[in-house]
Amino acid sequence: MSTRQRVRPGGRSARVQASVHTAVRELLEEGGREALTVPLVAQRAGVTPSTVYRRWGTLQELLSDVAVERLRPDTAPEDHGDLRSDLTAWAEQFLDEMTSASGRAYIRDALLGDPDGDNAGQCSAYAAEQINVILARAADRGEHGPDVETVMDRIVAPMMYRILFRPAGLHAAYARRLVTGLFAGRGKDEQ
């Protein structure tokens, strides 16, 4: 959430947010972001431009909020029967989504219109929540796993760093290698 929108809105406020977000997504699909302006978004959403400015401040902050909403996972990670398979499948899917053209654009938007870092923090929290589901499931099976921050450092951080700073050669094999490396470094009693 941007500075101007820290609380979850309800009622009319929620309807305005939903229609503005929908307008942004539709206009992005139709014409790309070059042509996007606040008046255009407002017209499509059926609100006044000043409503948009009051709530989001700038187009960039609005795009950042929309991007975070799009980056929210809509399903729990798949259960493949053991921790290593679960992490591998999740990492492959995460990398695939984030390296897509729209994934890269959303990551960029989320960071750019977010000077206080709240939206970036939310993106990171989404990944951590997914990993926590995988780790809790492993614990239920009696598997010993790493903690969530270790998985963030060893799996999520390298993928996200490379997407932003070093994007050559990012394929599923890279995601698998990260998971293999995480397990290779662990003692037998931990696995």
Is 158 a binding residue for its own copies by CB under 8 A? The answer is yes
Sites for its own copies among residues 92-111 (CB under 8 A): 108, 111
Pick 38 or 120: Cβ nearer its own copies: 120
Interface residue with its own copies, options 31, 32, 46, 121 (CB under 8 A): 121
Q: How many residues bind its own copies (CB under 8 A)?
A: 25
User: Which DSSP string do the residues of the chain spell out, in sequence order?
Assistant: --TT--SPP-THHHHHHHHHHHHHHHHHHHH-STT--HHHHHHHHTS-HHHHHHHHSSHHHHHHHHHHHHHS--SPPP--SSHHHHHHHHHHHHHHHHHSHHHHHHHHHHHHT-TTSHHHHHHHHHHHHHHHHHHHHHHHTT-----HHHHIIIIIHHHHHHHHH--TT--HHHHHHHHHHHHHTS-GGG-
Is 161 a binding residue for its own copies by CB under 8 A? The answer is yes
Choose one: 2-10, 46-54, 130-138, 157-165; the region binding its own copies (CB under 8 A).
157-165
Is 32 a binding residue for its own copies by CB under 8 A? The answer is no
Is 170 a binding residue for its own copies by CB under 8 A? The answer is no
* Binding residues vs its own copies (CB under 8 A): 108, 111-112, 117, 120-121, 123-124, 152-154, 156-158, 160-162, 164-167, 178, 181, 184-185
